[in-house]
Amino acid sequence: MFCGLIVSICVNLLLLALVLLLCNKFKQTNRNLKELIKENDTQQSTPQATNGDIYFKINKDFNITFINESGADSLGYMSQELIGKSVFGSLFEEKQANRDSLNATLNKMYRHQATLNSQGILVRKNGQKQLMMCRQRPLLNEVLECEGISFLCKDISEAKAWKENLLRFENRDLLTNTLNEKAILDRFEHDFQLAKRYNKEFSCIVIELRDLYDFISKGIDFETADKMLKVVSDVCFANLTPNANIGRVEKTKIMLILNGTSRDKASSISFKILQESINAIKKLRVDEYNAQMIVVTYTNRKNFNDTFDGMLARVKRHIGMSLKHREYGVVSSDNRGSIINKE
């Protein structure tokens, strides 16, 4: 009997907790619905679109039922031109993907009556497209059924352009205007994998300037040493193949990623870069003998079993051996084009 009483009390407590949980859930849902109804009523007469924002409504058939005058004007329309028209072919492009997306949004609002935020493209009257951030809310009738969607859209195309510019800036090496180390190595691996997947030619060239940089910084000054890095990178820019990338790694290495470029072409470019770099460096008051303290190496994707790490290892091995023996010029498994030997 005592055990039965305890069980009964536990069951009652669980039922009470469930009732309280359901009550709280009901109150929260009721508050959300009241907020939506209040906003819906308010926006019927005074939509809260700030200057430059585009506020419009569509019904469940995707026809435009309202658009604020300033929003219509910013898109090149009179508001009355759009009322009654399908949102597709006017504000949105007539694409199946757009229809599917809006159908999914409407179905979600039928079920959950929630506010959604997403990026979208609005089309101006002249056909120009604008990237917008759109807040989408359900339009409810008197029995709290969703009968359409309201959109409040803000132009973020300029913000996106600024973000892209910032990303490009963050990926740049300020001294040479090439990609920084992380960006060029990421690009190297990405392009290598694409070349491997589609079995395309792929090569890289690395110019090592460490010994020359040390000589100039100690014998002349650091400013001239930095200028040397810049003039060599300019030479590399001038010899880039189409769809190539260039970056600086480990302070004194300039790396060229040559998509669609054969090993023979990479070899030819290497010798050209070497000679043009020496001529450019001599203009910095560096004598020709010391201006030749450059190691240029190249390699290519060998076969389907070759790897990104394997290519990097070959480059490092060539450069390491050349610096160790102080042999300068173009070096690879094909040849060792040594120009000078430092004692």
pLDDT at 341: 46
pLDDT at 301: 94
pLDDT at 13: 63
At position 243, the amino acid (one-letter code) is N
Backbone dihedral region for residue 248 (phi beyond 0: left; psi -120 to 50: alpha; all else: beta): beta
What is the percent of the chain with per-residue pLDDT over 90, rounded to a whole number?
57
Q: What is the torsional sign of CA 84, 74, 152, 157?
A: positive
- 3-state DSSP of 271-310: HHHHHHHHHHHHCCCCCHHHHCCCEEEEEECCCCCCCHHH
pLDDT at 343: 40
Residue 179: DSSP 8-state: B
Contact by Cβ (8 Å): 152, 220 = no
Q: Give yes or no for residue 38 having a pLDDT over 90.
A: no
pLDDT at 45: 43
Q: How many CB atoms lie within 10 A of CB 223?
A: 10
Least confident of 115-129, 142-156, 158-172, 259-273: 158-172
Encoded tokens for 201: 């030619």
Quick one: pLDDT band at residue 156, thresholds 50, 70, 90? confident
CA 173 from centre of chain: 18
At position 319, the amino acid (one-letter code) is I
Q: Give yes or no for residue 47 having a pLDDT over 50.
A: no
* pLDDT tens-digit series, residues 260-287: 999 999 999 999 999 999 999 999 999 9
Q: Give yes or no for residue 43 having a pLDDT over 50.
A: no
Please compute the mean of the pLDDT values over residues 130-159 and round it to a whole number.
85
Least confident of 22-26, 158-162, 187-191, 245-249: 22-26
Task: Return d(Cα 104, Cα 340) in angstroms, integer.
Answer: 70
Encoded tokens for 248: 């600086």
Q: How many CB atoms lie within 10 A of CB 30?
A: 10
Task: Return d(Cα 196, Cα 65) in angstroms, integer.
Answer: 53
pLDDT at 144: 79
Question: Which alpha helices (H) appear in 113-180, and where do they start and end?
Answer: 157-170
Q: Give yes or no for residue 167 having a pLDDT over 80.
A: no
Task: Return d(Cα 169, Cα 253) in angstroms, integer.
Answer: 20
Q: How many CB atoms lie within 10 A of CB 277?
A: 26
Compute CA distances 118 → 152, 153, 156, 217, whole Å.
11, 10, 12, 53
Q: Give yes or no for residue 192 having a pLDDT over 60.
A: yes
For residue 118, give the nearest of 94, 140, 92, 96 by alpha carbon. 92
Please compute the mean of the pLDDT values over residues 57-65 and round it to a whole number.
94
Quick one: pLDDT band at residue 179, thresholds 50, 70, 90? very high
pTM for this entry = 0.56
* pLDDT tens-digit series, residues 304-343: 889 999 999 999 999 999 999 999 999 987 765 555 544 4
Residue 144: DSSP 8-state: S
pLDDT at 92: 94
